[in-house]
Structure 1
Amino acid sequence: MADKLEFVYVVYIESAPEKIWTALTDPGQTAAYWGHSNVSDWQVGSQWEHQRTDGSRVAEVVGTVVESAPPTRLVTTWAEPGTGQEAEPSRVTFDIAPYGEIVRLTVTHQDLAGEAERDAVAGGWPAVLSNLKTFIETGRPLPQEPWTMP
């Protein structure tokens, strides 16, 4: 079997680690810039869901909290719901490192099944994290959802 792939993205945000942590884990804030609510109690071993905000609360991504060290590190598994036990989930790590008045947020999405999955996350994470940066720094997301741009 081929080695699993990973995607790493780094963004610098004028903020404090606590604000970044809250923006990643608060359902209302994730809904504002991500278009989905991240729902969990964020305790190690707990389940988390990436739920639609259209009122249906349908989870489009599910996983388990692997590591939770507020406000500097969050690690979760990442899978499509209903994929069964045969599919191995990927893993997403959020590392939040303060430096003066800015924060370096590094997102590492690893254990990707192949090039198609890597291409999908390579198109998604930059859009989501750009929207997060704008949301944190201005109090509002970008005027258009960046992931819908052709």
Structure 2
Amino acid sequence: MHNRGTYTEFDGRPAVKFERDYSCSAERVWTAITDPNELAHWFPATVESELRPGGTISFSFPDEPDAAPTTGRVLLVDPPRRLAYTWEGDELHFEITPTPEGCTLTFVNVLAERDTAARNAAGWTLCLEMLDELSAGTTPVGAETPWQPVYEAYVADGMPHGAAVPGQ
């Protein structure tokens, strides 16, 4: 499995962190993480946002009729470099750094609960695989890797786990 997340701390709070290298521009990745039409290809919810600090960000799940929409707050917007917002008690932090080959995306999911680390890392691993495809210029059709083996690998590596898994 490539580009696995790592368990870490962010300002003393539990977090999972991912780093991805892209051969496209920082602006291209910025669009992929901020434009609702682009997010629809890789993010696990439909997103609408007021892209400004303090703005509202809403998440809905059209494919899951029992899932209620939620809202968060935009914490930081610094195009095309940094974006952060809250979601369900977690924080999502994106940082894009230009490189000679393109850019590097560092994504950190600051966790409300430590035991969600393996569950969230597995989910983000699959989502980020689709972002990789989108950034490479292809339209993702869905994660090719099943979620359960990814989750089990994180658990086997000792990542904190035990939180309920939606749908199970």
Q: Please name the residue that 1:114 is paired with.
A: 114
Q: Secondary structure at the match of 1:140?
A: coil
1:16-61 CA distance string (max 9 Å, x none): 11111111111111112335322102110011122224497x7655
Q: Please name the residue that 2:80 is paired with.
A: 71
C-alpha displacement of 1:120: 1.5
Name the TM-score, length of structure 2 as normaliser: 0.71
The answer on 1:38 being equivalent to 2:36 is: no
Give, in whole Å, the separation in 1 of the partners of 2:45 and 2:30.
16
Q: Secondary structure at the match of 1:139?
A: coil
C-alpha spacing 1:29/1:7, structure 2 compared with 1 (3 Å): same
What is the aligned residue count? 136
Q: Please name the residue that 2:143 is paired with.
A: 145
Identity level (%): 24
Give, in whole Å, the separation in 2 of the partners of 1:18 and 1:59.
32
C-alpha spacing 1:36/1:14, structure 2 compared with 1 (3 Å): same
C-alpha spacing 1:122/1:74, structure 2 compared with 1 (3 Å): same
C-alpha displacement of 1:140: 1.0
Q: Please name the residue that 1:49 is paired with.
A: 58
| Matched ranges for 1:90-105 at <5 A | 90-105=90-105
Write the letter of the residue equivalent to 1:17: A
C-alpha spacing 1:148/1:46, structure 2 compared with 1 (3 Å): farther
Q: Please name the residue that 1:132 is paired with.
A: 131
1:112-138 CA distance string (max 9 Å, x none): 3122x1121111111111110111103
Q: Which runs of 5+ in 2 are unaligned?
A: 1-11, 149-168
C-alpha spacing 1:40/1:144, structure 2 compared with 1 (3 Å): closer
**Structure with the largest fraction of strand:** 1
Q: Which runs of 5+ in 1 are unaligned?
A: 80-88
How large is the RMSD of aligned CA atoms in angstroms? 2.3
Write the letter of the residue equivalent to 1:70: P
Name the TM-score, length of structure 1 as normaliser: 0.79
Q: Is the 8 A contact 1:24 1:38 kept in 2?
A: no
